[in-house]
Structure 1
Amino acid sequence: MLKKFLKYYKPYKFLFFTDMFCALMVSIIDLSFPLILSYLSKYFFTKSRDVIIHGIFYIGIALVILYIIKYFCQYFIASWGHIMGARMENKMRSDLFEHLQKLSFSYYDENNTGQMMSKIISDLFDISELAHHGPENVFISAIKIIGSFIILLFINVKMTFILLVITMIMVVFSIFKNKKMGAIFLDNRRKMANINSAVQDSLVGIRTVKSFANERLEEKKFDKSNREYLDSRVNSYKIMGEFIAGNAFFEGILYVSIIVSGAIFIVNGSLRVTDLAIYALYINIFINPIDILINFAEQFQKGYAGFRRFMEVVETCPEIVDRKDAKELKHITGDIEYKDVSFSYDGKQDVLKDINIKIEAGENIALVGPSGAGKTTICSLLPRFYDVTKGSITIDGEDIRNIKVHSLRNLIGIVQQDVYMFSGTVKDNIKYGKPDASDEEIIRAAKEANIHDYIMTLDDGYDTYIGERGTRLSGGQKQRLSISRVFLKNPPILILDEATSALDNESERFIQNSLEKLSKNRTTIVIAHRLSTIRNADEIIVIDNDGIRERGNHSELLNKNGLYAEYYNMQFEGIETI
């Protein structure tokens, strides 16, 4: 874990070593002051009045120069040391976000967005504080403790060994308490992530919350997470209290031992009173870094817990990755074939079993059947949102696992029932289909999706802000914007996943016209519950929990009087409609 943490210092070696050099200078200056005072007391202040008055001016200038050096060193530590930590945090956040983009749908099926947000924001802030203060605090403290200990040995060996024994007991106590704090601070992070999760769920679904008048229920759910976090914090503060109070007790014992042993050594004549005064000054220098390390323990445990959670995500391997010999496909005809395809989400129970479907280039294929039969899963396997458990899927005869994922997904356009609009303008959302598109291309795509005229009625036209998740648009308007994205992308293969099932009849007519334009000359797979939208499909495949039950065109399936006819009659009550 330490090696993984240290690699983030690599791009900032100059800043890091300069920070450590400044820390060394600050420590040396702090250690030198009691030595200078001891020297002056023994050898300078005993001289004549004229020598003292003449020399103290130069000594004062030298001390001021020392403290000017300390000023610039501390400025560098406080400013550029923090900047280094912030840059490391920035790199970690980029790495984490980039890795989250690579992770497969299965990861998002199992993890909550609020918890991921916690790792990106609060965890990484604690890590950056550790990255800056960790090496610096440990380095300065180590120099001061070792340096003061050596000087104390020169003053009085016996007293210093008494000091060492008490310090070792203090170290053992600190290590024991630190282990307990590590587990508790990791629990703090998890509980904080649960709060973020509860807030995210409630705020994203605020319209549903209010429509069911369930504000009180959401408050109770939040209070539960909030209370668990409070309990975890209470436990952490209790152990921190034991840690800090225990170390303060041992510090007090250090002072007591110095006073008692110092008095005995003065009586014995092995220690001068002036040496005891200097010894007391160095005891402060010896204890001060111990105090810093005690306070640093909390920061270390928070940062370490955050880094562990960070590494849990970064070390999660994406399930969908390019093979070493994967190739780019840019121009295809659009022939698709599912060969003996089986799939399961958990590796145990098959959602699909031995599915065989062949789609010629330019054909329009419809998938029909009850919810949960695997229609969406069949479509999700084509762009490799998930990988087949058994069998293969080919495009123009090439196994999709031999095609680079980015290249494969660029060949496929998807229009879903649940349309996601990004926070931004109308233009931003259309442009998502082709980020480098010109304004002319965007307008052309909007016209083909029958949404241009509506956009022009908005106050700012294509520059109109549509709100978070497109809250200022109706369902039909969002759907047409999503269709314009696909027009702009212009893929040879199209998947329509119940694209009109949640719309009113008028919106459906508009969108159906747009979809017919979009499907022209493209290999199209349609998932539909409204059977009126697929009557002209080249082939309709009826799927239930047992797999493919029927296939044929609309007329053939009605004449079979099987499952498709049953669905059709249920929707239209036996009345033929056009």
Structure 2
Amino acid sequence: MTSLALRIGTWARLPRFGPTVSLAWRSRTKIAGSSALLVAQAGFALSLPWLFGHLTGGLLDGAGGIDRALLWVILGFVAMHIACKLAASLLLAQVSESIVAQVRLRLYRHLQRVPVSYVHERRRGEILSVLMDEVSRLSTFLSHTLPQVVPVVLTLAGGLVVMTRIQPVATLLIAAGFPLVVLALRLTRRKLRPVSDRLRQAEEDAVSMVDSGLSLLTVVKSFSREELESNRYATKLEEISRLTRIERSVHATLPVAVELLAAVGLVLVVWAVAAHGVRTPAAELVAFAMYAAMIARPAASLTDIANRIRHIGTTVGRIDALLQQPLEPYGAGAEMPRARGAIDIHGLSFAYGGRQPVLVDVDLRVNAGETVAIIGENGAGKSTLAHLLMRLVEPSAGTILFDGNNIHAMELSSIRRQVGIVAQRTQLANATVRENICWGSPDASDADVERAAARAQAHAFIQELPQGYDTRVGDDGIRLSGGQCQRIALARALLKDPAILILDEATSMFDPAAEEAFVRACRAWRRRTVVIITHRPATLQLADRVFRLESGTLTEVPCAQRVREPAAA
């Protein structure tokens, strides 16, 4: 009972290859075909020492010349061995590329559907490390390690069986050294586990450094930190290099030691057999020696393969951990029809991760087509309220209704189609101006794009760009000014034509003239519900009502106080 419990406990500690293996299962036909080719390859390889022993045995026994028929058979087996190995390698390469592409695609699709909080709470380097480094390790395992497993195991097992038939005692003496190999495996695993963990962490840190350094390049230069950042990265690379050398030196030393042990053991066995006067035909003696030499390398590579399998367990575990992250509830709930824009909020409360509540029992009624402004101090929860309206986060308590429909009972995508948002921190894709404006409306015509840009006070400056609407803006709009990026983001939201438009400091980088023109344009198309988060008096003029968010509660600012009270950012 105790041994059974131990076996169950050991099995429970093995990695669960869930989503990744389910993707590999789709290629099971090709995997089975390549496995059959690998078995055939091992079979041909195992036949060669026996055939070669009989070919040379006749010469050693003085029985005559070379058996030409047997020589042609050997050459045929060699050719078949090479052909099977080549075909299996090519087939597994196809399988590897297919599985890796599917894994990368599924990871990316999954990341598009996880809550934004999952991405915000982690370093991008951690996620990129899984998407790039771990998937690359999976590719290497499938294309290089996996083709070795079947031949190594079959060659080792088959060689020992044939050797036992030739010289049982000698084979037993050789096999007696295998416990040393197992012991070496255990010692290696114990030594390398912390090294491998530290190496993966260091690689993840290096990816994060590059990602952070490039995204903060302007800040780095403004504080003259170029040399300091380069030195930090160099230090991390030195750590990666040192850990890699430790790992590879152990991996390289152990197989050589096993091969040396096997060679010494073979010499001792042959000496012992000869010393005891054991008579063995020359053909069998040659075959035995060749089989002994043949199994030495597989025995040595077992340590390396075992370590790679252990590493791939960690790799697949990290990939599966990401793929098993809960998704947003796409597809759940009824489809939300085109909204008129009425918003009703009842008893809304929210807190980040069990911390102090940001919103407490908030109530708000916004009529369809009405424009309301929300003011308050930094960190008061204004942007959080905007995210709750888009269901980017879920409330701790309370309900939000669009036209009387509880948005938490409606299908998620249909809710987000009703709402457009322009945030203070503008995010643009590394694409053309036109592609960025069409982000939420890919089928929009050029006329629609230019009309939205004109409403956002962007058309004039876009026409002055080198390629106009076909100008690429760079990562996060790096080739444009902050105000230009904000206007393109506003045009993107207007082209979407949402029933509810949220402007979260959407004109904070507008110059006074552009802001005044924007206000005039807004008054001309006031047919949608607009929620303005702002501290700029010009934009506040658009509001039918103004609310102050303070200490988690929302209160309306009377008209008489709007002029006297400064609007906080």
Same fold (TM over 0.5): yes
Is the Cα–Cα contact under 8 Å of residues 334 and 493 in structure 1 kept in the other structure? Answer: yes
Moved more, 208-217 or 120-129: 208-217
* Deviation of the 1:244 alpha carbon: 4.3
The answer to whether 1:115 aligns with 2:123 is no
Is the Cα–Cα contact under 8 Å of residues 414 and 496 in structure 1 kept in the other structure? Answer: yes
CA distance in 2, matches of 1:517, 1:306: 57
The answer to whether 1:440 aligns with 2:444 is no
* Deviation of the 1:361 alpha carbon: 0.7
* Deviation of the 1:230 alpha carbon: 4.1
CA distance in 1, matches of 2:266, 2:145: 30
Give 1:81's match in structure 2, choosing from 86, 92, 112. Answer: 92
Aligned length: 553
Give 5+ residue unaligned stretches, structure 2: 1-14
The answer to whether 1:8 aligns with 2:51 is no
Provide the residue aligned with 2:362 in structure 1. Answer: 355
Aligned pair in 2 of structure 1 residues 338, 198: CA closer, same or farther (>3 Å)? same
Identical residues among aligned pairs (%): 25
Provide the residue aligned with 1:215 in structure 2. Answer: 226
Provide the residue aligned with 2:501 in structure 1. Answer: 494
SS of 2:374's equivalent in the other structure is: strand
Give 5+ residue unaligned stretches, structure 1: 559-563, 572-578
The answer to whether 1:451 aligns with 2:458 is yes
Provide the residue aligned with 2:182 in structure 1. Answer: 171
CA distance in 2, matches of 1:295, 1:445: 61
Provide the residue aligned with 1:528 in structure 2. Answer: 534
TM-score normalised by the chain length of structure 1:
0.89
Which runs of structure 2 are paired with 1:544-563 in the superposition (5 Å)? Answer: 544-548=550-554, 550-552=555-557, 555-558=559-562
Aligned pair in 2 of structure 1 residues 43, 213: CA closer, same or farther (>3 Å)? closer
Aligned pair in 2 of structure 1 residues 453, 390: CA closer, same or farther (>3 Å)? same
* Deviation of the 1:473 alpha carbon: 1.7
Is the Cα–Cα contact under 8 Å of residues 390 and 416 in structure 2 kept in the other structure? Answer: yes
Provide the residue aligned with 2:273 in structure 1. Answer: 265
CA distance in 2, matches of 1:471, 1:348: 35
* Deviation of the 1:64 alpha carbon: 3.1
Any idea what the Cα deviations from partners look like across 1:30-68, whole Å, max 9, x if unmatched? 11111002223446886875xx56x50x33433333233
* Deviation of the 1:402 alpha carbon: 0.6
Provide the residue aligned with 2:260 in structure 1. Answer: 252
The answer to whether 1:399 aligns with 2:402 is no
The answer to whether 1:99 aligns with 2:110 is yes
Which runs of structure 2 are paired with 1:476-491 in the superposition (5 Å)? Answer: 476-491=483-498
Aligned pair in 2 of structure 1 residues 354, 487: CA closer, same or farther (>3 Å)? same
Aligned pair in 2 of structure 1 residues 530, 450: CA closer, same or farther (>3 Å)? closer
CA distance in 2, matches of 1:298, 1:423: 41
Aligned pair in 2 of structure 1 residues 418, 3: CA closer, same or farther (>3 Å)? closer
The RMSD of aligned alpha carbons is 2.5
Partner letter of residue 262 of structure 1? V
Is the Cα–Cα contact under 8 Å of residues 185 and 305 in structure 1 kept in the other structure? Answer: no
Aligned pair in 2 of structure 1 residues 179, 401: CA closer, same or farther (>3 Å)? farther
Any idea what the Cα deviations from partners look like across 1:241-297, whole Å, max 9, x if unmatched? 2x5434533432332233223222223222437344432211121112123333334
Provide the residue aligned with 1:463 in structure 2. Answer: 470
Is the Cα–Cα contact under 8 Å of residues 258 and 300 in structure 2 kept in the other structure? Answer: no
The answer to whether 1:184 aligns with 2:195 is yes
Moved more, 161-170 or 268-277: 268-277
SS of 2:564's equivalent in the other structure is: helix
CA distance in 1, matches of 2:337, 2:425: 28
* Deviation of the 1:448 alpha carbon: 2.7
Partner letter of residue 304 of structure 2? N
Any idea what the Cα deviations from partners look like across 1:273-331, whole Å, max 9, x if unmatched? 7344432211121112123333334543443332222122111213x42484x011131
SS of 1:566's equivalent in the other structure is: coil
The answer to whether 1:567 aligns with 2:562 is no
Provide the residue aligned with 2:294 in structure 1. Answer: 285
Provide the residue aligned with 2:5 in structure 1. Answer: none
Aligned pair in 2 of structure 1 residues 513, 139: CA closer, same or farther (>3 Å)? farther
CA distance in 1, matches of 2:561, 2:536: 16
Aligned pair in 2 of structure 1 residues 25, 323: CA closer, same or farther (>3 Å)? closer
Aligned pair in 2 of structure 1 residues 221, 502: CA closer, same or farther (>3 Å)? farther
Partner letter of residue 213 of structure 1? S
TM-score normalised by the chain length of structure 2:
0.91
The answer to whether 1:24 aligns with 2:39 is yes
CA distance in 2, matches of 1:227, 1:506: 54
